[in-house]
Structure 1
């Protein structure tokens, strides 16, 4: 991949990663509940989902999803339903006492955080359609494909990890003092729960 083309890919990846969405909300929620370091497990799950999306597009399955309204809608509604579930669960999460909140985090298993991050990004058919339109701009069929795809996905994943961890997760650290009180926890749970549901609504109604 020519350096000038890679710079274009890098710039596009930064813009995409900074665009708020379910992944950013999930990352901030994890950082608030589990801390900056442990939020990485959710981010890792989200990156695996991105890798799967690219593999789907590379295998040509993305074209099938994009051209099949039924299949597209099945994935779309499943993704929206999962985000609504996360939103309701977040809203209904029981706050801990102020004394407990000072010293104890929820200690959600890393696998659970990874799995949720995976599904949040994977159940988004628009990501497949996006990569279907985005990928050909940076892949030249006349040149060896494997090195190009490795550079392509490596750049996207690296940028997304840095943005999610060092921007969204880091930004959430400022909210931790606020969430030490029961009232603060309820406000934050409601806020992030509503954001999850809002993203689900956008997923369903914006085409």
Structure 2
């Protein structure tokens, strides 16, 4: 991959990562609930799902998903239902007054698993990478190396954006969680966002 093509990939990857979606909402919710440092576990789960999507496209299965309306819709509605479930659970979660600096320490595996499922159950990501990836792959060059460079670049960019932008931005809302009313409001806001993204995923074709 030439440097000019790689810099184009970096610009495109940054634009994609900065576009708010379920991953960004999940990251901000984790940062608020468990702290900025521990929010990395959810981000890592999202990256494993992202790598899975790239692998699916590289293996050619993405063509099957894109060409099978039934398979696509099954995965799409499953993903939408999962996001709505997360939203309802977040919305209904009990608020508890927190002392300054006190956070509920959700297990790392729980955050990792949720991040994995949030991104993994989004078939639009497969279709997106199916259209996105060929722009940066040259068939006459070694494919494995090119896919490795693409995957590493996209993952690093997404980790940086999620952790140092979305998770860091959520820290500014941390003071609200020190009051029961503020915590309840944030639970409802993020719960509503999860539900909204889930509904959009199910409704938009």
The equivalent of 1:66 in structure 2 is: 66
How far residue 190 of structure 1 moved from its aligned partner, in angstroms, is 0.4
The CA deviation at 1:104 is 2.9
CA positional deviation for 1:103: 4.6
Structure 2 gaps, min length 5? none
CA distance in 1, matches of 2:197, 2:99: 28
1:39 is matched with 39
1:107 to 105, 108, 117: 105
C-alpha distance in 1 between matches for 2:14 and 2:99? 34
1:190 and 2:188 correspond: yes
- What is the TM-score of this pair, normalised by structure 2? 0.98
Listed as ranges, the matches of 1:1-207 within 5 Å are 1-97=1-97, 100-207=98-205
User: 1:105 and 1:12 mapped to 2: Cα distance?
Assistant: 35
| Alignment deviations for residues 128-166 of structure 1 (CA, whole Å, 9 cap, x no partner) | 000000000001111001111111001100000000000
**5+ unaligned residues in a row in structure 1: which ranges?**
none
Query: Counterparts of 2:171 and 2:194 in 1: how far apart (Å)?
Result: 19
2: CA distance between counterparts of 1:11 and 1:135?
14
* Alpha-carbon distance in 2 for matches of 1:176, 1:93: 17
- Please report the TM-score for the alignment, with normalisation by the length of structure 1: 0.97
- Equivalent pairs, count: 205
| Runs of 4+ residues deviating >3 angstroms | none
CA distance in 2, matches of 1:11, 1:103: 36
